[in-house]
Each structure stands twice: as structure tokens, then as C-alpha cells.
Amino acid sequence: MDVKKESLELGRETITLLIEYGTQIDDIYRRFRELRLRCNELSFQSALLNVEHAFFMVVQSMNILREQIKLLEIAKERKEVE
């Protein structure tokens, strides 16, 4: 199998996993957020908010990865990649 075809197939597999993991990450994020909202201790709320921010950064990275994979497919369709 050539590298270009293999990379496109791997990209499709990756997008499928990103959707699956994204759903799980979203659920965990919501649970942390709920805990923060129920917490009365300000310093621990701050720690939980930092965890929420980290989840946000993970999701942003996943979105960037998904976009880059789509650009790889577009490049192939436009024959920019032979």
C-alpha cells in the first residue's frame, strides 16, 4: 500500500476515534463542571476550573487535528498530493 493511500485511511480511522472520544470527553467535562458548581470551597473550585480548562484545550486540539486531516483529504482530491 502506498503512503498516501495509507495516510488517508489512517486519517478516516482517526476522525472516527475523535468523534467517539470527543463524546466521552464531553461527558467527563460535564461531570467535572457539575462538581465545580456544587463545590463550596473556593480554592477547590479554582482547581476544578483548571481541570475544565484543560478539557477545553484537549477538545480544541482534537478539532485542530480533525481539520488538518480534512485538509489532507482536500489536497488529495485536488491532486495537490499525488
Residue 33, exposed/middle/buried by CB under 10 A (0-12, 13-18, 19+)?
Answer: middle
pTM of the model: 0.79
Backbone angles phi, psi at 2, to 5 degrees: -80, 160
pLDDT at 17: 94
Residue 61, exposed/middle/buried by CB under 10 A (0-12, 13-18, 19+)?
Answer: exposed
Q: Which residues contact 7 (CB under 8 A, 6 or more apart)?
A: 72
Average pLDDT by consecutive 10-residue portion of the chain (82 residues)? 86 94 94 96 96 96 95 83 56
